[in-house]
Chains A and B, each alone.
Chain A
């Protein structure tokens, strides 16, 4: 018998993975290559199939069709305990009857390793909880349990570490701290991390590559910056941060630049950022890219006039304006509080402007 847990290494490859539960298709023809050593995030709303995908990689579910491989080793139908994969479960699933030391040693002992002390103490030192090794999981705080769950998995040196909403149960401050810590641990041990979350901030902070999933399919995959700056679908534009999406008609294409008509205003964008082949598109612009001015004082190339400020909220680092346009659509504008913002009040008539380079155009969803 080949010990897969020790031998298989390399990129994780999912080929044509499909998973049905009765009539419901949870994962639909999924293709994914996760490079060895990367910190990869599967991001999507609940029910998008991300957890099912993770469970298939872990061996807790069997795909209806398709193959899963680590390097050259096919693991599609291998038992969970035969895979070079370990999981950090949601709510951690630490064994309540065992001490922290025995929890961490569990995987090593099952593989018949006699002398576990050194490996366990080393990994406990890595997560800075060596002093708690004789406690039971129930005596630890949420953040400590989380780190033990990571330690219990990485002590086995798997080719792949799966993290299922690992920070979901922690409060905001602790979550921020753990995001940085997990990223540091990943760099330290060099294991491929595959992380499932519905929290876009968590995915963007930790992962070097994100796959955005929706309805069982991957909408778009790329680096956090790439996904944020160049969304390819309406779903991605709205799921990662906020976007203003305005109906427009494509006008002239001068090679590098394309102009579109937004309610009579001419808006310019780089042709490469037009993701649609249709004549009717949605023009997108991120709220923080827009400048807000008193009516008629615009300087930018792209400008929309005659907006009325309907709401202003001050959120510390920025001020968020809600502006109603003549065609009754509300647009969001974020201005940094750097002292340069115009003295704009609720009810003021304003002009919105931005650089053409920040503009993108997408297929409308319907």
Chain B
């Protein structure tokens, strides 16, 4: 082996990772070659110097410093994650849920309070649309009760609900409660407590068709337009009533209130009832008819009873005084209506001609 080859092997020899044969060759050469022995010594010295390097100690703050940086990094990472993902994965569902909840609550509250809010406006609306209420009264009379939420609840649409007689005791009790509450809450005290005016008392005597048909077509149309609101209320109230029991009770009150108020208005519209005492009703009857014709009365209808002749007609309010004056020429006139409080426009009049027995 030459010195160059030996010096290449020296590092491995020093590490002890050389084959026994190569090791023997190296050792033989080193014992005879001073130059190579010197190189070997330098190599050993180098290794010793490197291995003799002292370990440095970390500064006392080192762990703390590293951990503070790690924690700061963790926080910033959290913030980034929160900024980027928190709103998407957690917050949005919460917000969405809250929004939906609020919306549902708002709708529920609105639905629950809607009938009461409408009820506040009911009296004014129904007074204006009295004739429509009469129209709506008709089905109320015939139906008598309404099915709500699968249970039949009697609604007092008119003062004489025939079918209520067949209703159960519970229904009657509930109706009574509704009516009492209605009087306390919705009907103005004056209307609820004051005795009915004479006109109201006459209401049943006047045929219903009298008031229904006694108005000009344009007014009927206007009334119908007015009356659309209560009709819609009916629909809304019914639909609302299906949502909750509370709404149901309120609906009944509102419905009942409107019908009662409507009945009052109707009774005022049937304005004038006149009793004419004459000796011979059949003789006077054509004169009265002529008189009505002269005054422009319409829809003149006659009815003969055993003791009386009855004429019904529609007449302008302004003509009523003239009618009364001229009737006085024919016999003794008694007014049952309050002519001073007659509504303007066309009113229904009823003239009952009575002869002494």
A and B are interacting partners: no
Give A contacts to B, CB under 8 Å: none
